[in-house]
Structure 1
Amino acid sequence: MKRHFAIALLLLCGGSLTTEAQTLTLEECRAAASEHNRTLANARLELEAATQSRREAFTNYFPQISASGGVFQAQHGLVQAEFDVTIPQMGSMPVPISMVKRGIVGSISAVQPLFAGLKIVNGNRLARLGEEVGSLQLQKSEAEVRERTDTYFWQIVSLKERLTTLDAVDRQLDEIHRQAELSVRAGLVTSNDLLRVELRQQEVASNRLKVENGLKVSKMLLAQYVGADWRTFDIAFADTEPEPPTVWYVDVEEALDRRAEYQLAEKNVEARRYEKRIERGKRLPTVGVGAGYLYYNVMDRNVDDGVVFAQVSVPISDWWGGAHAIKRARLREQQAENDRMEAREMLAVEIEKSWSDVLEAYAQISLAERSIASATENLRQNRDFYRAGTSSLTELLEAETLYTQSRDKQTEARAAYRTAVARYLRVTGR
């Protein structure tokens, strides 16, 4: 009975320690990164903070309510006076009077601003603009995270395909090694040929270690990005032909209007404009109406009363430095407009360069495929020549090296093209 219980407990613990493998496609990696990435989480928090700022600014339309109260106890009466009292047959005598030694005072008032130099209106517009900027920043971060996710994903795909190439090379070298070993035993070649094959095998083994280490690091980076455990994380992908660049092309002017970076530059100009209006509003009169209630008891009598009032404030002396502040704000607006124009020009250059990179990367795929065809035929011929004894082992190993390099170039070209497409989608606002 105890033995059965121990086995059951061991199986239960073993089951709890095993972690289920997590294999994600590219779309699943994008979705997971959008949900778990900390950069996006911070961008969402910034947007929420901007929303709270907008709501805070809206409360400036409400009446400003304040209340105060207090009690006091004086050592002597706060009202000190002397009265001359005339007493018959004694003449005039001063009589000191001391009053208001203790008391209670309280008040409450509410002031509704009617006109505040448009500071409240422009402040609310500026706060609303801040929320729009937060939304654009989130959009920009989402595009960057998507591009980075695609880059990590295709980097892993590239390294996996390089491992596949190394597996094929290992099989070829094993066959060459077997043939060289038979030739050495038959006395047809010297042992140097066998050593050359073994050196090439060791070189391939060294390259495998580098690729496997790079694959591990790339998986760790992507797993951290998507919020997964890198120990059990892997990707799933279909080895399909990449689509031609024409599928992704978009007009530059259309792409510029969709770029979050350009829209942020436009929002910066708009924000500077509101700041200029707020500076001007600080020098305008403010008008408000209010009502209040007052209570006090300073002579053992309860007194309360209500009051309504209107107030006008004219900041006359503020105009001395205000003209310079307004001019400074106007200069900031001009700077923002210059930044907007420069941003549009530089973004257009970035879009054109990114499109050129896409075209170049796609052309590299075609060149790599032709290189593979040539290298494959060259390897086949050298293998046949070596078996027939009309070609040396050195030539066969060179052909095998060229074949490996052509396969690696194709792998790199495919990954570079897909990475370039991901970058092009980001810089065109998609």
Structure 2
Amino acid sequence: MRRTLATLLLLLFGGSLAAGAQTLTLEECRAAAVEHNRTLANARLDLEAATQSRREAFTNYFPQISASGGVFQAQHGLIQASLDVTIPQMGSIPMPLSLVKRGIVGGISAVQPLFAGLKIVNGNRLARLGEEVGALQLQKSEAEVRERTDTYFWQIVSLRENLSTLDAVERQLDEIHRQVELSVEAGLVTSNDLLRVELRQQEVASNRLKVENGLKVSKMLLAQYVGADWRQFDIACTDTEPEAPAAWYVDVEEALDRRAEYQLAEKNVEARRYEKRMERGKRLPTVGVGAGYLYYNVMDQNVNDGVVFAQVSVPISEWWGGAHALKRARLREQQAENDRMEARELLAVEIEKTWSDLQEAYAQIALAERSIASATENLRQNREFYRAGTSSLTELLDAETLYTQSRDKLTEARASYRTAVARYLRVTGR
């Protein structure tokens, strides 16, 4: 279903990618990343390989057919004998005999296994399990790719917001610079104050360069993920007020059953169980029936014959070390069960921690919003006080710095919350 949705989305905007219009929404970025990511491409190839292994294992139910043939030319007859021929009045005379000096042989046989110690049955179940593991690995990789896509996307949004903040700060500093310049001309302050404002402007310009470079790198990373040209790539985002964490909550036990990692641990236990059964099957007899056709010509006569047969094979020598091998298989099964239990416990801890991180990230947004309100009012008052001559330039620049920091913290808090939501969705199997 997810592949189908991704394909439909790509059909909708894939043509625009080729044409050069590469402004993508978050959903379109997710769909494109799922389709183009090379890690996922390898995971799909692994799944296809597992499917081929399952189909190969199924052929073991079919009769085993073999054919052989050959010709030979011997230096001497392969059958050497000496016959005593009795001739009346001459007695017994030895006569050498040499037969089968050249010949042609050929045949074909088919053997249908009736019982093979359940090795064929368990081998097919193990191959089918490998295909299910491949599907779970693909599901796990898709979830990781979507989370990484969300991280890059919201990082770009955050850096854009930082640029907006810098725009606002530059306008404020331009106004402060104008006021200080007038005060210097009027002889109210020294030129040292003007230099301090200019140093702050240069600091902001330096920060802009860092943010712009970071934005470029983030776009390159996301473009590489979605298979687009980063030089023409951009995102479309209508950032609304984020929903409260309660909208994303899911019970831990329910989330555990959804996690591909836990399902993989369960499949590992199942695989060890089948391996134990196959180990036991190596010590059981095998029974089969077959039919064949034989042709040979070794004495200048064509001989054609058919044959039917039954065969029983008892692997007696396998019993010597079989008990130890079977015990080793049981130990591995117990190890897999221990790993499954540990995985469930650790995944439960991860889910709870991620939920706590999500709540903390949401609370940080509210704190950052209050900080902005306080910093905005503080900046307004210091601007008025400076105009009235009751506040120093240092206090005004400090207020402007606090305002910048508070806006950056809000931007960071929102991006962190969006990323935390993406991670929570992944660790809860959604």
Q: TM-score, normalised by structure 2?
A: 0.95
**2:71 match: secondary structure:** strand
**Per-residue deviation, 1:87:** 3.4
**Per-residue deviation, 1:231:** 0.6
Alignment partners' CA distance in 2, 1:379 and 1:395: 9
The one-letter code of the counterpart of 1:79 is I
- 1:75-105 Cα offsets, whole Å, 9 max, x none, are 1111111112233444322111111110000
Look up the match of 1:150. 150
Alignment partners' CA distance in 2, 1:92 and 1:53: 69
**Per-residue deviation, 1:20:** 2.5
**1:224 match: secondary structure:** helix
Alignment partners' CA distance in 1, 2:363 and 2:45: 43
Greater mean deviation of Cα atoms: 270-279 or 386-395: 386-395
- 1:241-281 Cα offsets, whole Å, 9 max, x none, are 11100000000000000000000000000000000000000
Alignment partners' CA distance in 1, 2:275 and 2:88: 77
The one-letter code of the counterpart of 1:67 is A
Q: Are 1:115 and 2:115 an aligned pair?
A: yes
The one-letter code of the counterpart of 2:137 is Q
Look up the match of 2:247. 247
Look up the match of 1:321. 321
- 1:353-407 Cα offsets, whole Å, 9 max, x none, are 0000000000000000000000000000111111111111111100000000000
After superposition, residues 162-201 of structure 1 pair within 5 angstroms as 162-201=162-201
The one-letter code of the counterpart of 2:118 is L
Look up the match of 2:75. 75
Look up the match of 1:223. 223
Look up the match of 1:389. 389
**1:309 match: secondary structure:** strand
Alignment partners' CA distance in 1, 2:349 and 2:20: 47
Q: Are 1:372 and 2:345 an aligned pair?
A: no
Look up the match of 1:93. 93
After superposition, residues 218-367 of structure 1 pair within 5 angstroms as 218-367=218-367
Alignment partners' CA distance in 2, 1:227 and 1:87: 98
- 1:186-228 Cα offsets, whole Å, 9 max, x none, are 1000001000000000100111111111111111110001111
Alignment partners' CA distance in 2, 1:77 and 1:100: 5
Moved segments of 4+, more than 4 Å: none
- 1:28-48 Cα offsets, whole Å, 9 max, x none, are 000100111111111111111
Question: Which ranges of structure 1 fall in alignment gaps of 5 or more residues?
Answer: 1-17
**RMSD between aligned alpha carbons?**
1.0
Look up the match of 1:423. 423
The one-letter code of the counterpart of 1:308 is V
Alignment partners' CA distance in 2, 1:75 and 1:293: 29
Alignment partners' CA distance in 2, 1:85 and 1:329: 68
Alignment partners' CA distance in 1, 2:421 and 2:151: 10
The one-letter code of the counterpart of 1:212 is E
- 1:121-154 Cα offsets, whole Å, 9 max, x none, are 0000000011110111111001000000000000
The one-letter code of the counterpart of 1:129 is L
Alignment partners' CA distance in 2, 1:318 and 1:202: 82
**Per-residue deviation, 1:19:** 7.2
**1:231 match: secondary structure:** helix
Alignment partners' CA distance in 2, 1:44 and 1:90: 88
Alignment partners' CA distance in 1, 2:138 and 2:196: 57
Q: Are 1:208 and 2:193 an aligned pair?
A: no
**2:117 match: secondary structure:** coil
Look up the match of 2:6. none
- 1:280-312 Cα offsets, whole Å, 9 max, x none, are 000000000000000000000000100000000
- 1:306-337 Cα offsets, whole Å, 9 max, x none, are 00000000111211111111000000000000
Aligned residues: 413
Look up the match of 2:106. 106
Alignment partners' CA distance in 1, 2:82 and 2:306: 33
Alignment partners' CA distance in 2, 1:375 and 1:19: 46
Look up the match of 2:141. 141
Look up the match of 1:12. none
Question: Which ranges of structure 2 fall in alignment gaps of 5 or more residues?
Answer: 1-17
**Per-residue deviation, 1:23:** 0.6
Alignment partners' CA distance in 2, 1:388 and 1:231: 49
Alignment partners' CA distance in 2, 1:292 and 1:155: 71
Q: Is 1:19–1:232's contact at 8 Å kept on the other side of the alignment?
A: no
After superposition, residues 50-65 of structure 1 pair within 5 angstroms as 50-65=50-65
**1:250 match: secondary structure:** coil
